[in-house]
Amino acid sequence: MVPLFDTMIEQKSLYNNVISYSYVYKDEERYGFKSQMQFGNIDKSLYTGELKWYPIVDNHYMTVQIDDILFNNKSFGYCGKTNETACFLTADTGMSYMSVPEDFFAIMQARHISDVQECDPKIQIGTFTILMGKDRIDMPPSDW
């Protein structure tokens, strides 16, 4: 089966061959903000900074290869240079949570995330970093 986006590209249905996502927190919806997915366009009013482009390395998921994973600037030592030892990152669009019926979501949530607890934001655990090519993506504890 050919994926929908591939069919859209083949049929030249898109202005640009991109899919863009914009997410808002649930409590921001009361101010009129909405999460959205766009085919063929990137709305520059929905983000700040510069977009980075990385090659997708899997035909079924939005997966990119990463060079290293760091915690407080120290490498975990997991990512090698061969296919057997390389590290990959798959972007989670959240689509499974947005598209599942609410009744089923409640069951899924009870089974799989019943033991999840919020982290105390006052505890400074450290910075998680992903290295991709020349880019360094730092995520302080407040981001994760």
Whether the full predicted model's pTM is greater than 0.75, yes or no, is no
Alpha carbons 115 and 144: distance in angstroms, whole number: 17
The DSSP annotation for 91-119 comes to ----HHHHHS-HHHHHHHHHHHSTT--PP
64: number of Cβ within 10 Å: 19
User: Identity (one letter) of the amino acid at 109?
Assistant: Q
Between 96 and 54, residue with greater pLDDT: 54
Q: Given the DSSP bridges, would you call strands 36-39 and 63-66 parallel, antiparallel or unpaired?
A: unpaired
What local confidence, expressed as pLDDT, does residue 12 receive?
A: 94
Say how many C-beta atoms besides its own lie within 10 A of residue 66's C-beta: 19
What contacts 52, CB < 8 A, 6 or more positions away? 132, 135
Contacts of 9 (CB under 8 A, 6+ apart): 17
Q: Which residue has the tokens 């975990």?
A: 76
Q: Per-residue pLDDT for 60 more than 60?
A: yes
pLDDT above 60: residue 115 = no
